Amino acid sequence: MITFGHISSLSLLNKLENHPIELIIPGDCFAYRKPTILSRTDFETLYLRAIELGYHPYIELNGFVMPEELVRLSEYLDWLLKFKPKGFYINDLAVLMSLKEKNFQGELVYCPDTLLTNHYEASVFLKDFKRVQLAKELTLDEYRLITHNLPQKCEMFALGHLIMSVSKRPLLSSYFEYIQDQRSVLNDLNYRLVESKRSDSMPILEEQDTTSIYMDGIFTMFEAIPSLKDDLYGIHLDPLFIPEDAFIDLLDLVLKVEKDGYDEKAFKLIKQRYPSLKWNDGYLNRSTNASKEV
Amino acid sequence: MTIELLAPAGDLERAKIALDYGADAVYVGGRRFSLRARASNFELQDIAELVEYAHKDDHKVYVTVNMIPHEDDMEGLREYLIDLNMIHVDAIIVASLYIASLSKEVAPTIQVFLSTQLSITNSKTMDYFKQFKIDRVVLARELNMHQIETVISESSLPIEVFIHGGMCVNYSGRCTLSNEMTLRDANRGGCAQSCRWNYSVYYKDSLVSDKDPLFTMGSKDLLTLNHIADFIKLGVCSLKIEGRMKSAYYIAVIVKVYRTLIDAVYENKLSDDLIDRLNLELKQAESRATFDGFLSALPNQNGQIYQVNAEGVSQQFIGMIKATKPGWALVEMRNHLGLNQNLEVFSAHQANLTFINTSMIDENGIELIIANQPLTLVWLKIPFAVSIGDFIRRQGAL
């Protein structure tokens, strides 16, 4: 099983030397969840440093492409292809079509966040993609079933704050504008939402073209890794909103679990080392097929 | 070919009303495989009856099969599609390419439309879907008019756009707020509209939101009267109204308004005065503040509802006529009504007519001074002919 790390910070990247993982670096445009990669220079610096460290990164373009951006997308892909990426993680199928036109021979992985919820659907996209990244709102049983039907074709999110929504609207700045608060919110990782009747503190990130909201605790699935590793191609670790040292410790634990099996004591030690962090297991053990009584 | 006006319906009665008031087509959901599961009251025989009713006047019926299914949801899907084919449903609306492909295989006479749940924003993405023999694409609601024009000019697939009703604040199909908050899957018909709830905002450990209003993501509803002529000019094939959970009265008003407007465009009778009057008419049925979505510009604070009662909501609707006899109409009541009030009949078949409510009698023949029990049946004395399916409301705009 391959471990993928989503990296958008140079300082974190510098701490990843000699880790047996694959790197995914977001593009500076046509992507979101990349608050520190704001220019081609930012991207280039990060990408070339990854090469220096011995990695052959993938590029993630998880954004939506607007009609007038298709030409710019094509030009941007031409620029990215000069870096000879190992592959692309794609949300908008326009990126797939453009890469096909350019006869890109690397790996293409479809990662639309929510849409791939069964193996029938995944199979459809596997005609055009080498692999798919499954939706995040699946139970462990569903992950097992899908990956068993499509061995070595699926990847899943395994560590980080689970994304819950993505909007094209500038939701934070609109609100602060409404209450006449002139604060800056763009690309700031320190904002949290707390729903009126709940205590969860949910990260919210406003970027240039999107606002995204995430679950409170850090999603982990250490215990589930052993039962999935035969059929699952890879797992994704995302450090967004996680302190760098904690992320490195968690990454090391993931690699240890992959090799030696689940180590509850080691996870407890990490929890003790970072007492302010919260944890959850996402939807692994809770189905979301409830319905309102009417 | 004229542009299609496509209306929602949560049950057979509302579907027939939508068609009677001017929709060219209706979209409905069955009890399974559909979003808005709570709004779906259509058994297969209901859909069959609706298809028969619609096809008599060359109207169309589309069925939403637009859930994003998990493994357990697949049972019975093939049979359902075959059944829809047998009762001559015109199209299904899907968010799953697997369902699209399966439908093409087992239900070949049914057209397949891609739902806005797929958040399709450009022509190149539409090119990808052509291999699946898709018949129509419902565009993402995040596009402005110029972008819609660009997509239409670059794509050969027919384009449907939303013109009215509730808006997801997030990219459709990419939101799991409801899953986390309530364990109800927004992509399987369980959306709890958690985006409309109230939230405090913290920066690091400091509270930075106001107490009133708190932060919310709730969007104003879409209203596009000023853009309909442009949609027609651009070559959009279908104009879609949102709201399968909305009332019969809401459906009737919204459909009639857009029908009137579309007809005026084709007859070169469009005027600012007409749009103003239709705007007033819409406000009689609206329950939320409205704006024109992304069509003019990226929504800012003006596209959000931060204070629920910030704009007045009209409560003019009195009831729907269920039966008639000379000089009288039996009305299913929805709001309180006293004597000697100015009322208006809102009808699919004629211009609005007004009268004064001089006499009310309950089902037992007892005269009433006030009718204030919702869903009871009350005879109203009306000095002109009316029809079953007409609506009674306090005197309004048109």
pLDDT one-digit tens code per residue, A108-121: 999 999 999 999 99
Contact (Cβ atoms closer than 8 angstroms) between residue A254 and residue A20: no
Q: Which of A64, A96, A97 sits opposite B119 (nearest CB)?
A: A64
* Whole-number Å distance between alpha carbons of B358 and B364: 18
Q: What is the pLDDT of residue B398?
A: 42
Q: What is the pLDDT of residue B314?
A: 56
Instruction: Supply the pTM of this predicted model.
Output: 0.95
Q: Which residues of B touch A123 (CB under 8 A)?
A: 98
Q: Which of B146, B190, B194 sits opposite A290 (nearest CB)?
A: B190
State CA A213 to chain mean position distance. 13
Q: Which of A67, A170, A288 sits opposite B185 (nearest CB)?
A: A288
**Quick check: A174 and B184 CB within 8 A?**
no
pLDDT one-digit tens code per residue, B291-346: 999 999 999 999 999 987 545 445 589 999 999 999 999 999 999 999 999 999 99
> In chain A, pLDDT over 90 holds for what percent of residues?
96
Q: Chain A contact for B183, CB < 8 A?
A: yes
Q: Chain A contact for B214, CB < 8 A?
A: yes
Mean pLDDT of A197-202: 94
For residue B397, name the pLDDT band (cuts at 50, 70, 90).
very low
Q: Which residues of A touch B303 (CB under 8 A)?
A: 169, 174
Chain B interface disruption, residue of A32, A90, A165, most B CBs within 10 A:
A165
Shortest Cα distance, chain B CAs vs residue A175, angstroms:
6
For residue A105, name the pLDDT band (cuts at 50, 70, 90).
very high
> In chain B, pLDDT over 90 holds for what percent of residues?
83
Contact (Cβ atoms closer than 8 angstroms) between residue B67 and residue B93: no
**CA end-to-end span of chain A:** 45
Q: Which chain A residue is nearest to residue B298, measuring alpha carbons?
A: A169
Give the 3-state secondary structure of chain A: CEEEEECCCHHHHHCCCCCCCEEEEECCCCCCCCCCCCCHHHHHHHHHHHHHCCCCCEEEECCCCCHHHHHHHHHHHHHHHCCCCCEEEECCHHHHHHHHHCCCCCEEEECCCCCCCCHHHHHHHCCCCCEEECCCCCCHHHHHHHHHHCCCCEEEEEEECCEEEEECCCHHHHHHHHCCCCCCCECCCCEEEEECCCCCCEEEEECCCCEEEECCCEEECHHHHHHHCCCCCEEEECCCCCCHHHHHHHHHHHHHHHHHCCCHHHHHHHHHHCCCCCEECCCCCCCCECCCCC
Is pLDDT at B395 greater than 70 in this prediction? Answer: yes
Neighbours of B296 (CB within 10 A): 14
Q: Which of A93, A195, A290 sits opposite B199 (nearest CB)?
A: A195
pLDDT one-digit tens code per residue, B344-392: 999 998 889 999 999 999 999 999 999 988 899 999 999 999 999 999 9
**Quick check: A93 and B202 CB within 8 A?**
no
Contact (Cβ atoms closer than 8 angstroms) between residue B161 and residue B148: yes
Dihedral angle over CA of A162, A166, A169, A171, nearest 10: -20
How many inter-chain contacts (A to B, CB under 8 Å) are there?
221
Chain A interface disruption, residue of B154, B179, B197, B214, most A CBs within 10 A:
B179
Shortest Cα distance, chain B CAs vs residue A6, angstroms:
20
Tell me the ipTM for this assembly: 0.96
Contact (Cβ atoms closer than 8 angstroms) between residue A125 and residue A116: yes
C-alpha dist (Å) from residue B371 to A85, B32, B46, B75, B176: 73, 38, 33, 48, 44
pLDDT one-digit tens code per residue, A128-185: 999 999 999 999 999 999 999 999 999 999 999 999 999 999 999 999 999 999 999 9
**Quick check: A97 and B125 CB within 8 A?**
yes
**Quick check: B300 and A192 CB within 8 A?**
no
**Quick check: B124 and A98 CB within 8 A?**
yes
Q: Which chain B residue is nearest to residue A188, measuring alpha carbons?
A: B203
**Quick check: A125 and B97 CB within 8 A?**
yes
Is pLDDT at B396 greater than 60 in this prediction? Answer: no
Q: Which of A66, A166, A291 sits opposite B121 (nearest CB)?
A: A66
Is pLDDT at A3 greater than 70 in this prediction? Answer: yes
> In chain A, pLDDT over 70 holds for what percent of residues?
99
Number of residues assigned to chain B:
398
Shortest Cα distance, chain B CAs vs residue A80, angstroms:
19
Q: What is the pLDDT of residue A139?
A: 96
Is pLDDT at B143 greater than 60 in this prediction? Answer: yes
Greatest C-alpha distance within chain B: 71
Q: Which residues of B touch A214 (CB under 8 A)?
A: none
Q: Which residues of A touch B140 (CB under 8 A)?
A: 64
Q: Which residues of A touch B203 (CB under 8 A)?
A: 183, 188, 190-192
pLDDT one-digit tens code per residue, B63-80: 999 999 999 999 999 999
Contact (Cβ atoms closer than 8 angstroms) between residue B66 and residue B47: no
Q: Which of A94, A145, A192 sits opposite B71 (nearest CB)?
A: A145
For residue B41, name the pLDDT band (cuts at 50, 70, 90).
confident
Mean pLDDT of A218-229: 95
